[in-house]
Structure formats: structure tokens, C-alpha cells
Amino acid sequence: MKILINTILGSLIIGYAFGCFNLSYIIAKFKGFDIRHYGSGNAGASNVIILIGRKIGLFVAVCDILKAFAAFRLAEYLFPEAMAGDLNYAGVLAGVGAVFGHILPFYMGFKGGKGLACYGGTVLGISWKLFVVLFLTALLIAIITDYICFAPISMAFIVPLTVGITYGTWIPSAIIAAASIALLFKHRQNLARIKSGEELRFHFLWRRSDESERFGIADDGKEIFNRKI
């Protein structure tokens, strides 16, 4: 029992520590503003794309994926005996811990990002093939709906089910479900903005002018607008 508790706590602490490294917040601070007070109000890669630009935003997204992946691999290495079927549940716990660290970083007053990239990093830790398939599925959902938020909302249901069915064990799925609930909770405001017509559409990533005029964002992505959308 003591070993189990140490594994659970150790994995979650590792994940939370990695997740707390919020690059979007750090970059924005270096540029002289708090990213949570502008754009979508989210301390994550999508808001970096809105406020600063695509290249830096995509870099932040990759880093957010990799921090959860790194936490997964570290916990997997430290707790090799923590197996549920063919999956190391310590790694899954660390990945989920990274999601919560990104969403609730202590030094930011527990007001961070939405955790989608870290969620993806957890899937990457489980299987790179599964990551590719689910990433393409999420991308297709975003393209069809023209809203990014429908991708994480869909993945919150798809990922736990897919992992459980693929690996024949529901312990990792139950752990991932905790992160899924957090994702759904964090994206509830996006649904409200869609209803009110205030949510940026997905095609903003490559056709900024359509949404820039509507929301007062400079086409070059370098002008910070001073209201949340």
C-alpha cells in the first residue's frame, strides 16, 4: 500500500511540477503584459497565436506537449513496476498531473491555461501512433466545425474510451478521465462565446483578416487588443 501511495503521489508531483512551467505566460511577461488579461484570457498556445503570432504560438504548443511527455517518461522510469496491462499508469498519472499543473499553476494564482497540449502530450507518452491518429481526428473536427474548442471537447470523450478499448484496461482511462473533466470545465466559456458569436473561428490561423476586423486584432498578430474575446 505504501509503495502504491508513493507511486501515485510521486507521479502526480512530477507531472504537476512540469505542467507549472507555463511558457506562454513567461513569454508574455518578457513582452511586458499578462497574457491572461488579453485576447481569450487563456495562458496557453492558442492565445499566444492570437496575440503574438503563429510561429511563437506553435512553438509554445510543442513545448506544452513535450513537458507532459517528459513528465510521463520520467515517472515511467522512476516507477517501472506501476503497470496496468501494457501501460505504465505512473506515466499516465504524471501526464494528467502536467495537465493540472498547466491549468492550476501555484505561482499564477492557480489561473493557467486550458491543458489541451499537455493532454496531447499524455497521449504521446502512451503511444505515438495513437497520438498521430487522435491528432488528425482532432484537426479534422476543428476544420469541419471551424472552431478549435470542439477538438478538445471531443477528445475529452474519445481519448479515455480509445485507450481503454485499445489496451484492454480501464485504470489508465479512469485516470485520463480526470483530465478530461478538467478540459471540459475549462472550455465551457468557449461554448458560451460561440453562442454569442464572440469566439474566434479556426480559419483565423491562416486567414487572419476575416476575424481581425471583427475583433480588432492587427493582421500581423503583433498588436495586443485590450479586451477579452
In a domain, 45, yes or no: yes
In a domain, 229, yes or no: no
pLDDT in tens, the chain (229 residues): 766 889 999 999 999 999 999 999 999 999 999 999 988 888 999 889 888 988 999 999 999 999 999 999 999 999 999 998 889 999 999 999 999 999 999 999 999 999 999 999 999 999 999 999 999 999 999 999 998 899 999 999 999 999 999 999 999 999 999 999 999 999 998 898 888 877 777 777 666 665 555 555 555 444 444 445 4
In a domain, 228, yes or no: no
In a domain, 221, yes or no: no
Are 102 and 111 contacting, i.e. CB atoms less than 8 angstroms apart?
no
**Separation of alpha carbons 54 and 224, rounded Å:** 14
Set of cell numbers at residue 206: 491562416
**Separation of alpha carbons 80 and 60, rounded Å:** 30
Helices (H), the chain: 2-19, 23-30, 45-51, 54-78, 89-103, 116-126, 128-145, 150-167, 171-186, 188-196, 208-215
Number of domains comprising the chain: 1
User: What DSSP assignment string belongs to 85-121?
Assistant: TTEEHHHHHHHHHHHHHHHS-GGGTT-----HHHHHH
pLDDT at res. 182: 96
pLDDT at res. 213: 57
Parent domain of 192: 2-215
Set of cell numbers at residue 214: 471583427
φ, ψ of residue 191 to 5 degrees: the values are -65, -40
In a domain, 172, yes or no: yes
Let me know the angle formed at the C-alpha of 208 by 66 and 180, rounded to the nearest 5 degrees: 40
In a domain, 222, yes or no: no
φ, ψ of residue 83 to 5 degrees: the values are -110, 140
pLDDT at res. 215: 56
pLDDT at res. 88: 94
In a domain, 93, yes or no: yes
